[in-house]
Structure 1
């Protein structure tokens, strides 16, 4: 490691017209001392600031864990918003404060003298390796962590606790339900009426005009033990097309009714709700990553990262003219997961 404070001349081989054969290395700019370099009081103040930032990270992690266990999402939109807000604030404070503390430590307390390293062969010599070890030792001494006990304790505490804000939600609470088979079925059963979301009013086939789009839920959704969980799996998009525009597989020709088709609203990429329908092309767009499905052709993927069509809900009409399901979806809804190859 060498410090260059004087310019040097460098020869450029193969110089051409307009390019000088020799140019002057401007060297390292003049060093400007920081306040913490000049005044011990400023150095102590910077140390206290870094310690405070690490302390804020610890409080953020603790706040995250308290919110995780005492303010669960619940079953209402308001409770979900409150839980997400508290978790987000705790996670932000835990991670952001560590980052700011590290930057402030480096900028205000560590050695700020500019240094340059001369180019050398890719393979380091034994002497260079020994020098590298020595530089690491100097760096440890330069950080002054050995004589700053309070700051060291704050840093260790923040770094030790911060991973809990990620690990605890991944591990989950004791008794967490890991039965993934629940993702393979929804509330739809034979005879379940299709109802408008969110009013829950049943839908008559005669009320659905060509080109219209209806967001659909099971009529009996309110009777479920966990309505929001069931809705997240059972939401459907109902579209009516001109029957002449439909391209139906032989085994699915009985799944629609006079041009009315129903498909899962959950994108098969990462589970976002698809909802943007283009009437002229019959394309259904997912706003998250622009996966596009052709409703007229089995909701097959025509663009984007999704790798399989939207699952279709088989429908028919009951004696009173209401649209009802023939059965549940015949394949798992939503994105692929570890129990399914596609």
Structure 2
């Protein structure tokens, strides 16, 4: 399946996508009109289906309209039909894909664009969001407000992700060039009488990684190696960080870069480790390509294993299938979703 299956959604540029953890062929796609600069958004629910001649095709199952552009999407880990979205108007909405075009819950605490949402795959009733206002908030979908607020960075926090290994660890990345790891078990998060994190945001990271002299746009946890992260930044570099040599629990600056991957021609907008191979990493870039790398020592072989260059605009999202090893999806400002096998 090197020739991609393609879905075109005219008028809506894509920002993010995620495979369902319950349905092996279903994806959610967050999109915005006018490249996300102004106008409304759409949440697309799509499926990979058999097409003509037995070749795979992408079917649009349903879409939901929003008043502002959507920047990110995450499937619930607890309910097979629930999806949460991050919006440019600062709102977060929860959708049931079996219902009509109305969100079943909405939250409006962030003061600027919400740029990422991520559902914990361990503590399955919890998700996290990050915002251009620098804050990160932890949520439970049955609560009317967030349960925890972190002042993670002083400037835009592009992404916040729960660790797939430890439910109390959250990684973030920012315009300030750092990756931070927050441990929600840390004593610094104990809240005294009459205090709460909503009015007194917490800011104590257990580890700060000076990852780049430029903005770090994306980060991801390795699914097989705890405390190993990958980052992508405006300086076009992809880096792999080993944080295991730093004792967790003390506020420290550290993290060892064990691999630097050069090759993208413009900023790296999104990356994701494979859920099936510890050393396979996919990256999406403003150079209109998605690339697949091997981070294992390869001797004379180059780490770059594949370049997908079928898009005609910025590639801003990439995601490996959770069920089918080696199947990769990409989305772009060219209003196209591609699914292929590198």
TM range (shorter): under 0.3
- Greater Rg by CA: 1
- TM-score, normalised to structure 1's length? 0.20
TM-score normalised to structure 2 length: 0.20
Q: Which structure shows the bigger proportion of residues in strand conformation?
A: 2
Larger helix fraction of residues: 1
